[in-house]
Amino acid sequence: MSSMKRFFLFCSGIDQSILQQCPTDDNKYLGIGGTIFFTGVLAFFSSAYALYTVFDNWVAAATFGLVWGLMIFNLDRYIVSSMKSKGGFFGNFFMALPRIVLAVMLALVISKPLELKIFEKEINAEVLVMEQEKFKEQEDLIKERYAVQLASYQQTLEQLQTEITQRTATRDGNARAALQEADGSGGSNIRNMGPIYRAKQAAADQAQLELDATLARNLPLITETSQTIKALDEQVKTDITTMGRTAFGGLAARAEALSRLAVGSKAIKWASLFVMLLFVMVETSPILVKLISPRSPYDHLLAELEQQFELTAKEKMDLRSHEVLSRLREHTEVGLHQTRADIKIKKAEIDADLQRRLDALRKSGYLVE
């Protein structure tokens, strides 16, 4: 038997000494062992890729991936080797049901990182979109932090400018009315510079004084407020520039990107589903093969050997139980006999002591027969 064949039979978890007596089962268990081995290999690549996205180091990823792959290999080997055909589909099915559930869970764990690798290019593009969205959210939070202050200063600036605009409009209106009164194009429509003109001109001059006072008061405030707004804008830009932008593309982010792609694209959704189902099928195939296969010569020999061990163990336990009971009975009888002998001896001693006392009393004359 070649070393590779022995290795795959070892992977299947069978007893090779029993299998040598039924060579017709070789191919069945070679296939099961190969499936278990390659499932472990896929688990290694899957976990190594997943851990690489976490550690960003191939040595650490390969080391932990190897440990994970060996664990999955050993677990699959145990799951398959612990299944023993007892005859009857439903009996075997209910016995295998917990193992099938466990195999499905393992398949889901193994398939997800490999799905991420298969759709890596699409995921990378989606991750960039998610990264920009995340940065945009952070920028909006920074802007929101200064929004109230900026709105307050902007409102103050608008009020100052509005007041100047209103004063200017009033001044211009009064000056226009005085000019129209002087040239006869408005007002009384009489060209003269009489009392009406002088009254309107006085109103225009008063409006100019009020405008000058407003300008003297508001322009410094406008300059100061504009500088404050500019400083706040610069602070916002500085905070955005110095904002910490950590790498966005870990395992959780890539899984979320794949989920978003599946929602937006039916092709990716179905492809991801079929990849997952493929791994479920691969992971559960050894169990299903043993479940649907009729009892083979290996199963009969194994059942016979296990029954022989069971009967031998039961026989030894029964013999040991009988020996213990015999010893207990013997010890009980010996103890009872010893107790009776001790009682008889003690009774004889009491009788002898009583007789001596009676004899002593007779000799002394205290006891007369």
Of 170, 174, 173, the closest CA to residue 211 belongs to 170
3-state secondary structure 266-279: HHHHHHHHHHHHHH
User: Where in the chain are the domains?
Assistant: 3-125+251-293, 142-241, 296-369
pLDDT value at residue 309: 80
Look at residue 1 and tell me whether its pLDDT is greater than 60: no
In this structure, of 78-87, 127-136, 161-170, 349-358, the range with the lowest mean pLDDT score is 78-87
How confident is residue 27, by pLDDT bands cut at 50, 70 and 90? confident
- Do 287 and 103 touch, CB atoms closer than 8 A? yes
pLDDT value at residue 89: 63
pLDDT in tens, 174-199: 777 777 766 656 555 555 556 666 77
Helix and strand counts by DSSP (H, E) for the chain: 10, 0
Q: What is the mean pLDDT of residues 311-338?
A: 84
pLDDT value at residue 86: 63
d(CA 121, CA 263): 17
pLDDT in tens, 222-233: 888 888 888 888
* Average predicted confidence (pLDDT) for the chain: 79
In this structure, of 251-260, 276-285, 299-308, the range with the lowest mean pLDDT score is 299-308
Residue with tokens 């400018």: 161
Look at residue 243 and tell me whether its pLDDT is greater than 70: yes
pLDDT in tens, 100-124: 787 788 777 777 777 888 888 888 8
Which of 82-91, 302-311, 357-366 shows the highest mean pLDDT? 302-311
Look at residue 87 and tell me whether its pLDDT is greater than 70: no
**Amino acid identity at 110:** I
Those residues whose C-beta lies under 8 Å from the C-beta of residue 86, and which sit 6 or more positions away, are 92, 95
Question: To 5 degrees, how large is the angle CA 65–CA 66–CA 72?
Answer: 90
How confident is residue 20, by pLDDT bands cut at 50, 70 and 90? confident
Q: What is the mean pLDDT of residues 328-334?
A: 82
pLDDT value at residue 43: 80
pLDDT value at residue 280: 81
Q: What is the mean pLDDT of residues 256-263?
A: 84
d(CA 214, CA 226): 17
Choice between 86 and 222, residue whose per-residue pLDDT is larger: 222
Of 200, 220, 204, 210, the closest CA to residue 167 belongs to 210
Residue with tokens 């899984």: 255
pLDDT value at residue 333: 82
pLDDT value at residue 141: 84
